[in-house]
Structures are given as structure tokens and as C-alpha cells.
Chains A and B, each alone.
Chain A
């Protein structure tokens, strides 16, 4: 039987097209449009070709140098966040109770930081870490350690990384816990019978079974930390100097502070492509083994 064919069905796609156009297509094209033009205000634009991109990707120029400095800072920040949050998240998930009232209590407690808005997290830590009145800052200074995130780059870094760990480790914990709970009891019993110790159980059962959720956890944490803006902006404002000026902060400085729309647009596009590429490469490599296995 031939299926009836009616091209009017394409009309049903229109609402989605309109929605995507307004929410994604038109904004992106505006940015692309800015990235190849220059403006001196008055809403007058001049064709500039690929000059912004060339300048941006050349570290010897003013813009390029600034871009690469921020890029390395952002990569370092993401790397540190992943290095701390993933192992810590796994460790905490392994320690959580498997049954009883403790399950609900720990899950709710863990979820609390995730519910707090970014700027509030920033404000909390801005006060918490202050050397004069903040509980943490004052306590550390009281121990005789000189700690001032507004003056010392290292202290600023420790503060923003600690803040991110505080805010987001819970996400990794919850994902890992879900992965761990999905392991049938028989696996643990078999491992016991096979004489496996805690480390062998972790290597042979828990880690492999968590692989999928860990892939998601790493992806989410990479993207989020690579795009971080609000929290360090509230705490350090990108300082001291440029010590915690990440790509997103620098981007806003160029776009809104200096009103260099062309430079900022070119930077946004490159920024976006970096995230896409890293995520795609990571996802492709981690899932390749899995798809082979399920064949």
C-alpha cells in the first residue's frame, strides 16, 4: 500500500523553525555579522573581512595576547575543577549510604548547593572568604596564614576553585550515586565470593559501571567551568590584575566595557568552537569503546 503523500505537512515544521530562528539562528548570525565588521558608534558599520580573526589568533598582537592569556587561564581553571571534582565526587558517592533514612538526608543535603543561583554563590563566597569579616578568610588569617583574595593571585585562584568545587561537586556525586545504585547486588556478591578487595571491586565493577554517567559528568563540568562567568566576576571581578580574568569575563569587558563589537564577536565564535570541539572529541573517544562493546 502506498503511503499517502501531502507536502502540506511541511507547514507543521514552521513553528519550530520560527522558534529556533528567534532563539538561536538570528542571534548567532548577528554575532557572525559583527565579527566581520568594525564600528565607530552611531550604528555605522564597515566591512573588515577576517581581520579580527587574524588579530585574535595571533598571540603577538594586543587582542591575541589577551585572548590566549585568558584561554590558558580558563583551561587551567577547567582542568583544576575536573581534577578535583570528579575524583572527589566519586569518593563521596562511594561513601554514601545505600539504604535507610540516610539516603534521603544525604541526597537532599548534597543537592542544596546546586539550587543556589550563581550570583548568590558568588556573594556568599565573596563574604565568606573576606579576610576581615568572612568566617573562612578571618579564620585562615587567624591561623597566621596571609590570605587575601583581592591582593594575592594565588589566594584568588584558590578561592574561585574552592567555590566551584563547593558549588558543583554535588552534581558529580549525584550522577555517580545513580550509576552505583544501578549495579545489581549479584555483582558485589560475586566479587565477594571471588575474594576481591575494595580496590578490585572498584576497578572491576564500580568504575566500569559508572563509565556512562562519568562521561556525562565530565562533559557537563567541562562546559560549565569553561563558560564560568558570574561567580568569579562577583568575587574577584577578574582580579587581582587579570589573574582570574577568564574568557567569558574578558569577552564581556571587550563587548560591553570597550564596546568593541567586532573583536568580541570574533572571540565569541572562536570560544564557542573550542567548546564544541573539545566536547565532540571527548564524547567521540569515550563512547567509541562503548559502541564497539554493544555490537
Chain B
């Protein structure tokens, strides 16, 4: 149910950015990834999500266990809030979207086209998608971007409820959500070193 990552190395654009990353996540736990821009938080999350293969190392988790939420929310501007959400619910084999709508206070906006939402409302809709998937492991890349402080509190509440149901969350974020179950992993020590050239010619090859 949880996830175990051992000695993982990931690359972006053919250049290794992180190596030797190890962590484990049990049900009910959350792990926050931290590190400066460009350290490879997004790349690590995409690798764990299975969107790109790791350079080396292993990601061990059950199949069809996780849901990924990236920088883009995957919303269709001409579909309504409710249509967007129920599409994802159907893809993941669920039907009911009312709980997810109310958790992020989107019920009053349900009939509005997603293109007419503000940036923060779009993000809330993107996060509401996590609830309709019914998946236990959430992989979140900067989930709080463009959320105001009320919405961040709303999101923290949803995460807390998810953890108490036995879910888990791996997220890259810079702000403190105030979730006491969450531990933090600083990625800076795992920054990949440039490979040492074997000989003088190696520098030019």
C-alpha cells in the first residue's frame, strides 16, 4: 500500500539531477519534498508517477495505487466544473463528485465553464480531482500555487482527512501546511555530482 524508493537516480533532459534518493512512505503518512528551484522535485515526482523511467534505483509500490497532479490542472475550458470532475471520476471508475465539490467549496460554481474560473478556483478544481479518483497515494507537485490562505487551510484539511483514512501523500511544496503527520525530505544532499572524466580526452568526448 505504501511506497518505498531506494537509491533512485533521476534525469531531466538527459542530465542526471538527483541520485541516491531513498525514502519510504506508509499509509497515513505524508512526505514533503523541499529544495531549491531546479533540484529535481518535479522530475522525481514524475519518475515516481511512472511518466519517465528512472536512471537507476527502484520505486516499489502497488500498481494502480497512485494519482499524479502536476503544475497544470488538466481542465477543459469549455466544460463545466461538474463535467470536468465527473470525467475524471468516470476514468477512475467512480461516479459521485458532490463530496469533492463541497470539500473545495466548488458546489456553487458547479455549472460554470472551467475557463471562466479564477486561477485559484481552477487550482481548487484540479485538487478536487484527487478526491474523485479514490486512489490512496497522492503525488502532488506544488499543490498550493495560486491558492489564498483560506484555500490552503481547506487543502490542508483535505490532506489531513485523506491521511486519517489511511491514504498517503508525497508532495513538493514550499509553504508550511501545518500538518503534524508530515515529515520533510530535503533533496539538496542528493544533488547529482558531475561524472569524473576517466582521462584527459574524456573531457572533450
Q: Do A and B bind each other?
A: no
